[in-house]
């Protein structure tokens, strides 16, 4: 009888120990880790895709105006450009700068990005607006020979803020000035 009680007690102890270890094994099984890893990779890819979508949305929004500003800068740099061509391009660039600044003011993040990344974009937008405002000020001072130094500094701040978004997502930073032109 003692042997039976000892055997039943030992069996019960083994069963309880087995049940306790199986629940912890279920939590850390290799299959669960692989699934979690796959989900993380999928989320990372989704975020990267949305960042690139937002880049495209921004470029499509600002390119029509930004191209006019870039065209003006190209004409000013070209020694063969006429004064008339520079003045005409300068007036177009001035109008474009005002429209672009207004577009920044009303710009909404369209991509489905996490809140912290959306916040980074929203923090960068005032620098972009300041760039366009400074372009307008420079053109108002001298339509034939505008100094965009201050404007370029504002765009550099915008670029730096978004470079952080790209870096954190594991993407290469993009030349947004080139993307917008």
DSSP string, 64-127: HHHHHHHHHHHHHH-TT--HHHHHHHHHHHHHHHHHHHHHHHH----S---HHHHHHHHHHHHH
Are the beta carbons of 60 and 119 closer than 8 angstroms? no
Asked whether residue 18 is assigned to any structural domain, the reply reads no
State the pLDDT at residue 162: 96
State how many domains the chain has.
Answer: 1
Asked whether residue 12 is assigned to any structural domain, the reply reads no
Asked whether residue 29 is assigned to any structural domain, the reply reads no
Statement: residue 88 has pLDDT above 50: yes
Q: Domain range spanning residue 74?
A: 40-180
Asked whether residue 98 is assigned to any structural domain, the reply reads yes
Statement: residue 14 has pLDDT above 50: no
Q: Is the pTM of this model over 0.85?
A: no
Are the beta carbons of 120 and 159 closer than 8 angstroms? no
């Amino acid at each position: 009888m003692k042997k039976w009680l000892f055997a039943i007690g030992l069996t019960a102890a083994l069963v309880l120990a087995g049940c306790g270890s199986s629940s912890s094994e279920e939590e850390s099984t290799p299959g669960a880790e692989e699934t979690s890893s796959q989900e993380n990779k999928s989320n990372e890819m989704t975020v990267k895709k949305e960042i690139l979508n937002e880049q495209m949305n921004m470029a499509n929004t600002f390119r029509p105006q930004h191209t006019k500003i870039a065209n003006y800068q190209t004409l000013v740099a070209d020694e063969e450009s006429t004064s008339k061509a520079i003045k005409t391009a300068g007036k177009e660039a001035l109008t474009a700068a005002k429209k672009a600044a207004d577009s920044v003011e009303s710009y909404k993040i369209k991509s489905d990005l996490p809140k912290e990344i959306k916040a980074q974009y929203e923090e960068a937008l005032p620098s972009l607006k300041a760039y366009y405002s400074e372009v307008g000020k420079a053109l108002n001072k001298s339509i034939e020979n505008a100094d965009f130094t201050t404007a370029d500094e504002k765009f550099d701040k915008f670029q730096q803020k978004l470079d952080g978004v790209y870096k954190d997502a594991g993407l290469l930073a993009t030349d947004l000035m080139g993307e917008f032109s």
